[in-house]
Amino acid sequence: MNLSLSEQNMHNPSDGGLEDDKAELMIPCFRRNMFDEPITSYSNGSIISHLLRKTIHTKRALDESHFYLPNLAVSSSTMADSSQEDQSSISSRDSAAESASPGSHLSTGASPEEDRPLSDHLQAKRARVENIIRGMSGSPNSRLHGENERAESDVREAREAYRENKRKQRLPQHQEHHLTPPAPSNRGSSGSKDEECHKLKEQLQSMQRLLRQLQEKFLQVYNQEGTECEGRDDTGAENEDATTGKESGFVFPMSTDDESERTSDRAKGGLPDRAKTGNLFLTHQKESGNLQDTLKHELCKAVSESVDMVFKKISSTGLKQSPAQRMCPRPEHISVGADRKSQEDGNQEQSHTEETGKPRALEYYESTETRSAEGQTEALSLVVRKPPLSQLSSVTPTVKRPYPLHHSPFQFNYSTPLHDSQILEHLLKYGPHTSFGTLPCMPPSMDRASPDSVERPWDAIAMRSKVTSSHLAHHPCPSGLGPVTVDSLCLPHVKMECGDLQSMAERNSYMSLNIQEGLTPNHLKKAKLMFFYTRYPSSNVLKTFFPDVKFNRCITSQLIKWFSNFREFYYIQMEKFARQAIVDGVNNVKDMSVSRDSELFRALNMHYNKANDFQVPERFLEVAEITLQEFFNAISTAKDSDPSWKKAIYKVICKLDSDVPDEFKSSTCL
DNA sequence: ATTCACCCTG
DNA sequence: CAGGGTGAAT
């Protein structure tokens, strides 16, 4: 599914068997997400179930928890080991894990670690979880900074190795990162790194708040149910907070520069929970099932709200630039500020690693030029190749045209989690590589995009037209959605990278509604009429008479194929009527004539001029007659025994082309 | 190696 | 009408 899940599968490979494992599995993921990813890739229900159980355990076994501490280090090193293994032997498992759905943890066995005794395994996981909770109640700052560094470096290794491996295996991953922001760049500028750290801290804080609230609530209930209120060495103050509605007892040592976030988080997430908690106090012990459900529900809310806050926070930090900066984001801003939200994938990392020494503006244009040059020299193939992943972020600016202002990326509301449909919609509108924050401020030089950079979208449109052209007649294009929209689709990437996305797009009427470029049914009709004049049009003729078509190899081939098909039908009819005449006893070639009344002409006219709204030139009748006579002669003299007997006829006919009237040059002649 | 035309098929 | 296969021409 995504990196997080895949790694999750890798690093927790022994999650087979027990139902509990499924929930417990979430916690390592949860913890890791504090550092590098938002919590989006697991189900709330699982987490809540786990937390409900875990809180009890924590309470009872809290003082044991130090016993498990070493396991945390084991866990960390295990990740690193996995990452190394990843490059070699794990590849098969890797792909298996990738193909596995999030809910298929139970079936992803076949790992060496699965042989580990289950009790050990469970203990280890439990230890990790408990350590998290303990650390949350204790001094997150001290613990987190130490572990953060260690884990981050381990995770970094693992992730990079994993990515390296993954890049080789498959490039299209955009749809897999919708909800998973790219991992922080570790090699970027120190400024961006600080920014990353800051954001991670904020995420961590949110998570901590959530866990704390969870503990509060559950311990309240637990105390209510239990006979005594055990001294809660780590969260003692929380009881009061919960009952009084104040969280003053919680002071997160972690340094933060944004108190308002916490405040608003309380307002949004905390208070409703607490109101609910008040009700929970009335819940009887026998109704613990209902209580659990209620808790789950509330926790779902709290988690989602927390995620909202994190996203909102990140979004707002991304906008904390001067207006000028905002309007003209440098590439890394595009990546960091936008791609993370768009969840496209971790490519932004490359933008940091590339030519970090250069002035950004220079890098920006240089990369653009590089891409354009490549686009120029690269042969255009039917299957548009995806540019190397490492260059995607630098490509981004080149592909785009200026977009209408109402498409401003900042219109995108990041305070709410992005849903797949939103992502898809954005991808369809702006293209998968469009940073959500790029376009309204493209440099002027980008506006008048070089022919090469425009070529790619056209290529794809042409290809799309092959698929959708037959539908276009039934879906007249809204006039308001012109080439800009089509261009914005940036289909080459969609087509080549995301099979899934592409298929989704094909099912989306949005696509067929807005593609009016390339070869349309009208072009086909026009080509058919042109066939009355020329059976063998040169590519120059085609280009001359289809001025509204952006020609590339694909389009040209398609047009040539059209005329090939026309000829095919034409010659088939000729042969058929010639043979029929022979069968009918015609002996003289001169008896073979073609008039507007003849069956042959009606057949041809029906094929090329179905609407019969075009006056077929007389010359075509002559050519048709000549062709028919050629066939008649050939068949009469038994030349058709030669496998290539038709070629002589073709040779004659191809010389009979006449000029196409200039009226056909107008794209509006139809 | 590429392009094109033809042929066949669906 | 498009796609795939084939062979000739370049």
Segment A178-213, tens digit of pLDDT? 323 333 333 333 444 455 546 666 676 766 766 667
A432 three-state secondary structure:
coil
A8 three-state secondary structure:
helix
**Nearest nucleotide, CA A562 to C1':** C1
| Average pLDDT score over residue span A154-177 | 34
A413 three-state secondary structure:
coil
Nucleic strand B contact set for A 650-669 (CB, < 7 Å)? 650
pLDDT recorded at residue A656:
87
Reported as a single tens digit per residue, the pLDDT across A296-349 is: 555 545 555 654 564 555 444 433 333 223 322 232 232 322 333 333 233 332
**Nearest nucleotide, CA A566 to C1':** C1
Which chain C positions come under 7 Å from a protein C-beta?
Answer: 1-3
Residue A610 confidence (pLDDT) above 70: yes
pLDDT recorded at residue A246:
32
DSSP state of A384: P
User: From the CA of A171, how many Å to the C1' of C10?
Assistant: 36
Instruction: Write the CA distances from A124 to A68, A73, A113, A128, integer angstroms.
Output: 7, 10, 12, 6
| Average pLDDT score over residue span A65-88 | 34
pLDDT recorded at residue A146:
35
A268 three-state secondary structure:
helix
pLDDT recorded at residue A663:
84
Residue A290 confidence (pLDDT) above 50: yes
Burial of A86 (0-12, 13-18, 19+ CB in 10 A): buried
Choice between A312 and A43, residue whose per-residue pLDDT is larger: A312
| Average pLDDT score over residue span A31-50 | 35
User: From the CA of A378, how many Å to the C1' of B1?
Assistant: 15
pLDDT recorded at residue A105:
33
Nucleic strand B contact set for A 515-574 (CB, < 7 Å)? 536, 539, 553, 556-557, 560, 564, 567-568, 571
**Cβ of A468 near strand C (distance < 7 A):** no
User: From the CA of A562, how many Å to the C1' of C6?
Assistant: 19
Choice between A449 and A553, residue whose per-residue pLDDT is larger: A553
Q: Of the candidates A537, A493, A545, A485, which has an alpha carbon nearest to the alpha carbon of residue A519?
A: A545
User: From the CA of A565, how many Å to the C1' of B9?
Assistant: 13
Q: How many CB atoms lie within 10 A of CB A456?
A: 25
**Cβ of A532 near strand C (distance < 7 A):** no
Q: Of the candidates A202, A216, A206, which has an alpha carbon nearest to the alpha carbon of residue A266?
A: A206
Q: How many CB atoms lie within 10 A of CB A69?
A: 14
User: From the CA of A553, how many Å to the C1' of C3?
Assistant: 16
Q: Which residues contact A436 (CB under 8 A, 6 or more apart)?
A: A338, A339, A341, A342, A409, A412, A426, A430
User: From the CA of A607, how many Å to the C1' of C5?
Assistant: 26
Q: What is d(CA A407, CA A440) in angstroms, rounded to the nearest whole number? A: 8
Tell me the pLDDT band of A63, cut-offs 50, 70 and 90.
very low
pLDDT recorded at residue A73:
34
pLDDT recorded at residue A331:
28
Choice between A220 and A1, residue whose per-residue pLDDT is larger: A220
Strongest mean pLDDT among A168-177, A187-196, A354-363, A398-407? A187-196
Distance from chain centroid for Cα A484: 21
A334 token code pair: 């595009």
User: From the CA of A643, how many Å to the C1' of C8?
Assistant: 15
Query: Are the CB atoms for A95 and A110 separated by under 8 Å?
Result: no
Can you tell me which residue has its alpha carbon closest to the C1' of nucleotide B2? A379
Q: Of the candidates A177, A184, A218, A219, which has an alpha carbon nearest to the alpha carbon of residue A198?
A: A184
| Average pLDDT score over residue span A30-54 | 35
Tell me the pLDDT band of A45, cut-offs 50, 70 and 90.
very low
**Nearest nucleotide, CA A524 to C1':** C1
Residue A576 confidence (pLDDT) above 80: yes
**Nearest nucleotide, CA A644 to C1':** B6
Reported as a single tens digit per residue, the pLDDT across A373-407 is: 333 222 222 223 333 323 333 322 222 222 222 22
Choice between A219 and A435, residue whose per-residue pLDDT is larger: A219
Residue A649 confidence (pLDDT) above 70: yes
Q: What is d(CA A280, CA A199) in angstroms, rounded to the nearest whole number? A: 34
Choice between A387 and A662, residue whose per-residue pLDDT is larger: A662
**Nearest nucleotide, CA A528 to C1':** C1
A136 token code pair: 């949350």
| Average pLDDT score over residue span A431-440 | 29
Residue A650 confidence (pLDDT) above 50: yes
User: From the CA of A647, how many Å to the C1' of C9?
Assistant: 15
Residue A532 confidence (pLDDT) above 60: yes
DSSP state of A215: H
Which chain B positions come under 7 Å from a protein C-beta?
Answer: 2-8
Q: What is d(CA A157, CA A92) in angstroms, rounded to the nearest whole number? A: 19
**Nearest nucleotide, CA A651 to C1':** B5
User: From the CA of A565, how many Å to the C1' of B10?
Assistant: 15
User: From the CA of A567, how many Å to the C1' of B4?
Assistant: 14
Radius of gyration of chain A from its Cα atoms, rounded to whole angstroms: 34
Determine if the pTM surpasses 0.85: no
**Cβ of A563 near strand C (distance < 7 A):** no
**Cβ of A385 near strand B (distance < 7 A):** no
Query: Are the CB atoms for A518 and A465 separated by under 8 Å?
Result: yes
Choice between A586 and A458, residue whose per-residue pLDDT is larger: A586
**Cβ of A576 near strand B (distance < 7 A):** no
Look-up: residue for tokens 């354009």? Answer: A372
A399 three-state secondary structure:
helix
Q: What is d(CA A295, CA A49) in angstroms, rounded to the nearest whole number? A: 9
A347 token code pair: 């490519």
Residue A645 confidence (pLDDT) above 60: yes
**Cβ of A107 near strand B (distance < 7 A):** no
- Find the DSSP H helices in A320-450: 323-327, 331-333, 340-342, 348-353, 360-377, 392-399, 420-430, 444-447
pLDDT recorded at residue A250:
30
Reported as a single tens digit per residue, the pLDDT across A485-527 is: 333 333 333 333 333 333 343 333 333 333 345 788 888 888 8
| Average pLDDT score over residue span A518-542 | 87
Please state, rounded to an integer, the average pLDDT across all residues of chain A.
48
**Cβ of A648 near strand C (distance < 7 A):** no
Residue A353 confidence (pLDDT) above 60: no
Strongest mean pLDDT among A129-133, A275-279, A384-388, A453-457? A129-133
Q: Of the candidates A32, A59, A112, which has an alpha carbon nearest to the alpha carbon of residue A121?
A: A112
User: From the CA of A590, how many Å to the C1' of B1?
Assistant: 47
